[in-house]
Amino acid sequence: MSVSLYYTARRTAPLTGPESAAIARVVTARRASFPYEDEEGLYVYDPRSAEPEVLLDGSTKLPTDPGRLLPVVAHVLDSVTELRRALPDARWHVHLDDLDIEWDEARGYELPGMRDADLAAEPVAAGDARDDTADGGAGLGP
């Protein structure tokens, strides 16, 4: 079962030229800085297929690897934060499936613990512990 982040910006007035350029710059820069080549990062849908008031929308399928989850969430939410700051007068809706992610003027979009290095390391350590016991604890590994 997959979990995704969704992001949408709405406004009655269409994008201006400078706003379109700002969005393109953010999307290009954030895609270039994404940490994993084999995971889905910031994905903005084709604006031509959007509803009339939708300025921008997209989604990101989150990784199933627990060691990659928090870095991907942080990167994508930071990306959406930059996009929101480029379109501050739009109505934004950002959510993780059924969980709305609230906007904080100072910090942007974030989830509790997404920048906690100890929390991010836990799934990796748990995976290492499972690997160590793959031989039943008999010490017969390579």
pLDDT digit string (tens) for the chain, length 142 residues: 689 999 999 999 999 999 999 999 999 999 999 999 999 999 999 887 778 899 999 999 999 998 899 999 999 999 999 999 999 999 999 999 999 999 999 999 999 888 877 766 665 554 554 454 444 444 434 3
Q: Both tokens of residue 71?
A: 């870095």
The per-residue pLDDT for 141 is 41
Q: Both tokens of residue 142?
A: 């390579």
**Eight-state DSSP code of residue 91:** E
The per-residue pLDDT for 95 is 98
The per-residue pLDDT for 48 is 78
The per-residue pLDDT for 140 is 39
Q: Are 50 and 88 in contact (CB under 8 A)?
A: no
- Closest by CA position to 113, among listed 80, 69, 76, 82: 69
Other CB atoms closer than 10 Å to residue 28's CB: what's the count? Answer: 10
d(CA 128, CA 114): 21
The per-residue pLDDT for 125 is 52
The per-residue pLDDT for 142 is 39
Specify the 3-state DSSP secondary structure of 68. Answer: helix
The per-residue pLDDT for 116 is 78
* 38-47 burial: b if 16+ Cβ within 10 Å, else e: ebbbbbbeee
Q: Both tokens of residue 12?
A: 């009655």
- Closest by CA position to 47, among listed 19, 70, 73, 74: 19
CA 119 from chain centre, in angstroms, equals 17
The per-residue pLDDT for 102 is 95
